[in-house]
């Protein structure tokens, strides 16, 4: 599992997270809920091994991440996929965008050979790409230019790109923010499919109804740390912390 233990982070002296702990296990969906600006993205960046915390430890399968050699840390990071709020697709076909994660994980020689085959018109779409596009319902669009997609379709392609290289862990930062119900439903179905594949998923969201629909566990991030982490139904129906109760019931806590 990925484990954050008593991590803290501050920017310009202002604390964002303090003494926060969270574990992510394969085959489980964890939703991190809380208002905007509370530190959800910072938490995901720590889980993705992008950001070293000011204090505390980060381990992957018991291995301390930030005391490991850079090559070891890179190998651990390659097991983690992340989907951001903005899709950030390349000006290429849907298939090429989804293949990107696979491509950068190949040895340089394999990358060069694939590019040569592409120039010669003999390049084939990897099966992992078509499978990932199947999950998000976009297999028929694999030859379409990414620039012609809607915002919701672009986000689904971004999800497929992270799923194609079969990560052990998948992190999603507000993946359905501003999406219509159809695209939101497609992303949520894909999240459940990832879980069923044995991937450990973390969804950072301000949408509590989404957390109730997809998550096995929920962590409530308020102030500069978690007020509560537990099974979804228990957190929403019988919260142990009064601040959690006020937040999930819609009372103003800020």
Confidence of residue 113 (pLDDT cuts 50, 70, 90): low
Confidence of residue 118 (pLDDT cuts 50, 70, 90): low
Statement: residue 121 has pLDDT above 70: no
Give tens-digit pLDDT for 6-23: 999 998 888 889 999 999
**Percent of all residues in the chain with a pLDDT value above 70, rounded to a whole number:** 91
d(CA 87, CA 154) in angstroms, rounded, equals 6
More confident residue, 44 or 251: 44
Question: In which residue are the tokens 């090559």 written?
Answer: 71
CATH of 1-79+170-254, one of 3.40.190.10, 3.40.605.10, 3.30.70.980, 3.40.50.300: 3.40.50.300
User: Which residues is 29 bridged to in the sheet?
Assistant: 201
pTM for the structure as a whole: 0.88
Give tens-digit pLDDT for 172-184: 999 998 899 999 9
d(CA 142, CA 125) in angstroms, rounded, equals 9
Every domain of the chain and the residues it spans: 1-79+170-254, 87-166
Statement: residue 123 has pLDDT above 80: no
Q: What is the mean pLDDT of the chain?
A: 88
Pairing of strands 14-24, 2-11: antiparallel
Which structure tokens are listed for 122? 């003999």
Q: For residues 207-246, b (16+ Cβ closer than 10 Å) or e, as one string? A: ebebbbebbebbbbbbebbbbbbbebeebbeebeeeebbe
Statement: residue 46 has pLDDT above 90: yes
Write out the E strands in the chain: 2-11, 14-24, 29-33, 55-60, 63-64, 80-83, 169-173, 200-205, 217-222, 225-231
Statement: residue 115 has pLDDT above 70: no
Kindly report the backbone phi and psi dihedral angles of residue 149, in degrees, each rounded to the nearest multiple of 5, phi listed first. Answer: -80, 155
Statement: residue 106 has pLDDT above 70: no
Segment 61-82 mean pLDDT: 91
Give tens-digit pLDDT for 185-209: 999 999 999 999 999 999 999 899 9
């Amino acid at each position: 599992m990925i484990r954050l233990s008593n991590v803290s982070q501050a920017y310009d002296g202002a604390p964002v997270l303090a003494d926060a702990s969270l574990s992510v296990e394969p085959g489980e969906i964890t939703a991190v809920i809380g208002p905007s600006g509370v530190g959800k993205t910072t938490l995901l960046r720590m889980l993705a091994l992008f950001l070293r915390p000011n204090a505390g430890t980060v381990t992957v399968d018991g291995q301390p991440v930030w005391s490991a050699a850079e090559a070891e840390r890179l190998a651990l990071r390659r097991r983690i996929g992340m989907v951001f709020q903005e899709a950030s697709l390349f000006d290429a076909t849907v298939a090429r965008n989804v293949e990107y994660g696979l491509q950068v994980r190949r040895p340089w020689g394999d990358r060069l050979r694939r590019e040569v085959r592409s120039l010669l018109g003999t390049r084939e779409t990897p099966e992992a790409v078509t499978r990932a596009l199947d999950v998000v319902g976009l297999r028929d669009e694999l030859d379409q230019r990414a620039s012609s997609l809607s915002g919701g379709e672009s986000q689904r392609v971004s999800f497929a790109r992270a799923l194609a290289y079969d990560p052990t862990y998948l992190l999603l930062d507000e993946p359905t923010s501003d999406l219509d119900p159809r695209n939101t439903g497609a992303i949520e179905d894909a999240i459940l499919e990832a879980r069923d594949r044995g991937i450990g998923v973390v969804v950072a969201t301000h949408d509590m109804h989404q957390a109730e629909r997809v998550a096995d566990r929920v962590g409530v991030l308020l102030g500069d740390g978690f007020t509560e982490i537990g099974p979804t139904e228990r957190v929403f129906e019988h919260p142990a912390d009064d601040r959690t109760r006020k937040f999930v019931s819609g009372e103003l806590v800020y």
